[in-house]
A and B are shown apart, each in its own frame.
Chain A
Amino acid sequence: MKPWRLAGSAAIVAAVIALYHLALGVNPTTVALTLLLAVLGISAFWGLAEALLASALGVLGFNYFFLPPMGTLTIQDPQNWIALGAFLVTAVTASQLAERARRREAEATARRLESERLYELGQVMMPEGSPASTIRKFVQKAPQVLGCAGAAFCYGPSNEIVRSGGETKVVSDAALMAAAESEDVKLDAAEGVALAPVRFGARSLGSLALVGSAAPQHTLRSIAHLAAISIEKARAMEEASHAEAARQSEALKAALLDSLAHDIKTPLTSIKAAVTSMLATAGPEQHELLSIIDEEADRLNRLAAEVIEMARIEAGKLHLEKQPLDSAELIAEALSAFAAPLRERPVAVELGEGLPQAYADRELVVQVVKQFVENALKYTPAGTPIRVSAQVKGGKIVIGVADRGPGIEENERLRIFDKFYRGRRHRFEVQGTGMGLAIAKGIVEAHGERIWVENEPGGGSAFYFSLPTGGVR
């Protein structure tokens, strides 16, 4: 409602009355209809308040100047009361209708403008790169697109604040951060500041501020929502591209390992083939030297295999082919690899009653059992017994290899599974890389299971690992 419009309404009514008053002999009905037209026009273009004022003034003026007795506000003829009443009701009703239509149109226009702006903002904020760059873009473009003086954004996860310029100084950093916690949009009409929390679902992404914005609350909510979607999408895209990069780097690592395995083993193949060929026909003197070459080629080969396997485990590239497994078969297979050295020792195999099947990668699990058996053979005196067991404990299958050797000192019990760690006592006596148990640990942990060592009551140590049950019995 603007004062000049009220004055204008009064002036229009006064002009109509003056015109007809001066032009004598005009039918009062013409005057009334002309006034009605004026009221309708006013309500259509300016508003209800102006139209109501015009109606009131019109009624008074019409009565005063055109209804007998003229020059007074009294009415002689009761019929004229009715006419005046009809005029007033018609003017007010028509004004209201016109006003409603006008307001609808204004609302529709505002909505359209708002949609256009939000669309434009959406276009501008097309997620790209990262949340940070999306936010910078929003802050840069929002004033121009939304027609405000400035914009500021606080990104929750990093608490980073981005401002479009000095105009936004009226909003303090603290106020901006606090807005992230608020429930809804806050409008400060005096300062012309709007603060809105930015959320994606229940998750807070920060807050935004618009300075000198005339946007109503629901528009601000839409803006905040749009910003949230754009930022979240940028974040998801960034994450996806990181994951892709990581995947590619893992694939590259695995490919490198494969080619490394090939490159080391190819010359070893020539050496081994050549030396074993010579061994077949060598005399005793050469035989000793050629045997050394042969054995060392084997050792290099084992070393390369272990390094590559360790790298594969650490790169998370261990490929598990899980299947139902019988513990008895696993143990038999592992023991068969050491048939000759085991013949010189008492070997006991203890299998629990009604052992269920395990669910694991057969080759890798056999490798773990073999490692345990190999360690028992290496680190315990010749002729001492070895006991291999499989039992169910706490819903898991636990496979163990126990020996009657010197046992493992308390402070070594954890480190023994570390890469390159070798027991103090045997460091210089027994050949090895110190990777066997680390690889065993990697294999067991890749299955999501546990590996450990205990000291046996009565001397010796026992290595165990667990496996998930999987088959039916």
Chain B
Amino acid sequence: MSAGKILVVDDDPQIRRVMKATLVGHHYEVMEARTGEEALAAVPREMPNLILLDMNMPGMDGLETCREIRAGSEVPVIILSVRNTERDKVAALDAGADDYVTKPFGIEELLARIRAALRRSPTAPEGGPHSFSAPGLEIDFDARTVRARGKDARLTPKEFELLRYLVAHAGKAVTHRELLQAVWGPDYGDEPEYLRVFINQVRKKIEANPARPKRIVTEPWVGYRFVE
């Protein structure tokens, strides 16, 4: 039985070859697209469970392709890119990507990311808070809505889960590893920079001054803490 249908979008034929060989070896069904345009045509036709999307392609680039895919589908997207600056990661996440893997990567790392992304929408923790309310911040965990300073804040699923976990452990320092594993999955834990991208995004959406956060504070050496 197939572990899932994966669409590999990359203009480099060798990369598509190695991906196909490896992923098929891990019981995934693999389809290929050479360009962003081909990928957009393939998504509604093939209904993949996951898309591996190259960031740097001639013609429509990865970010644009990702935005286009997001306009019509919630399929998990992992962006693959040779660039490793935070700016590029933020741009990819902003475009709607679920994850970002820097090329070159070890295949085990990629497989772990694929497994985590396919496990999509981590189950809501049992017995967690249903809502949170404080001056300038209201969260309804059941309706998945956040209002910050009187305005609706749009959080991506990952950002929302991050906030939910921090609020559920309000007042306690949550370590990087704990947070990564809770939100992304058990294969994560060594990506503090990764976490920082999402924390920054959440801060931008809920903090009055994201540079001097009052809600999600950094615990040096440890992780993050939500202040009630």
A residues contacting B by CB (< 8 A) are 261-262, 265-274, 276-277, 280, 294, 297-298, 301, 319, 321, 323-324, 326, 328-329, 332-333, 336, 362-363, 471
Contacts and interface: CB of A to CB of B under 8 A. Distances in A.
B25 interface: yes
B218 A329 contact: yes
B167 to A, nearest CB: 22
B192 A336 contact: yes
A332 B220 contact: yes
Contacts of A326: 218, 220
B74 interface: no
Contacts of B211: 323-324, 471
Given A273-B110, A323-B211, A265 B103 contact: yes
A273 B220 contact: no
Interface of B: 12, 14-15, 17-19, 21-22, 25, 56, 80, 82-83, 85-87, 103-108, 110, 192-193, 211-212, 218, 220-221
Contacts, number: 78
A82 to B, nearest CB: 101
B107 A266 contact: no
A28 to B, nearest CB: 107
Contacts of B83: 261
A449 B192 CA distance: 27
A276 B221 contact: no
Contact of B19 (A267, A273, A301, A323): A273
Contacts of B106: 272-273, 276, 294
The DSSP consensus for interface residues of chain A is helix
A265 B104 contact: yes
A270 B15 contact: yes
A297 B192 contact: no
B104 A277 contact: no
A277 B18 contact: yes
Most chain B C-beta atoms within 10 Å of own C-beta, residue among A262, A269, A276, A363: A269
B15 A266 contact: yes
A294 B85 CA distance: 23
Given A276-B108, A280-B108, A266 B103 contact: yes
B53 to A, nearest CB: 14
Contacts of B107: 273, 276-277, 280
B120 to A, nearest CB: 23
A31 to B, nearest CB: 104
Nearest to B23: A277
Nearest to B106: A276
Most chain A C-beta atoms within 10 Å of own C-beta, residue among B17, B82, B211, B221: B82
A250 to B, nearest CB: 19
A269 B211 CA distance: 36
Q: Which 7 A-B pairs have CB atoms at the shortest separation, nearest pair first? A: A272-B104, A265-B82, A276-B106, A269-B103, A269-B104, A270-B14, A276-B107
Contacts of A363: 85-86
A87 to B, nearest CB: 97
Contacts of A321: 87
Contact of B104 (A273, A332, A333): A273
A332 B221 contact: yes
A436 to B, nearest CB: 17
Contact of A266 (B12, B105, B193): B12
Nearest to B109: A276
A471 B110 CA distance: 39
Contacts of A272: 104-106
Contacts of B192: 333, 336
A254 to B, nearest CB: 13
Contacts of B12: 266, 269-270
Contact of B105 (A267, A269, A333, A362): A269
Contacts of A274: 18, 21-22
A259 B73 CA distance: 31
B25 to A, nearest CB: 7
A328 B220 contact: yes
A316 to B, nearest CB: 17
Contact of B15 (A269, A280, A333, A336): A269
Given A265-B104, A269-B103, A277 B21 contact: yes
Nearest to A339: B190
A342 B18 CA distance: 36
12 contacts: A261-B82, A261-B83, A266-B82, A270-B14, A270-B15, A272-B105, A273-B105, A276-B107, A277-B21, A321-B87, A333-B192, A363-B85
Contact of B18 (A273, A329, A471): A273
A399 to B, nearest CB: 14
Contacts of B82: 261-262, 265-266, 269
Contact of A268 (B104, B108, B110): B104
Most chain B C-beta atoms within 10 Å of own C-beta, residue among A268, A273, A362, A471: A273
A328 B218 CA distance: 11
Contacts of B86: 362-363
Nearest to B82: A265
A121 to B, nearest CB: 54
A273 B218 contact: no
A109 to B, nearest CB: 70
Contacts of B218: 326, 329
Contact of A262 (B56, B108, B193): B56
A132 B83 CA distance: 47
A277 B25 contact: yes
B99 to A, nearest CB: 16
Contacts of A332: 220-221
Contacts of B25: 277
A270 B108 contact: no
Nearest to A319: B87
A380 to B, nearest CB: 23
Most chain B C-beta atoms within 10 Å of own C-beta, residue among A262, A294, A328: A262
A10 to B, nearest CB: 96
B22 A277 contact: yes
B155 to A, nearest CB: 22
A471 B221 CA distance: 20
A267 B85 CA distance: 20
Contacts of B17: 270
A336 B86 CA distance: 17
A305 to B, nearest CB: 8
B219 to A, nearest CB: 10
Given A262-B56, A265-B82, A329-B220, A271 B108 contact: no
A238 to B, nearest CB: 36
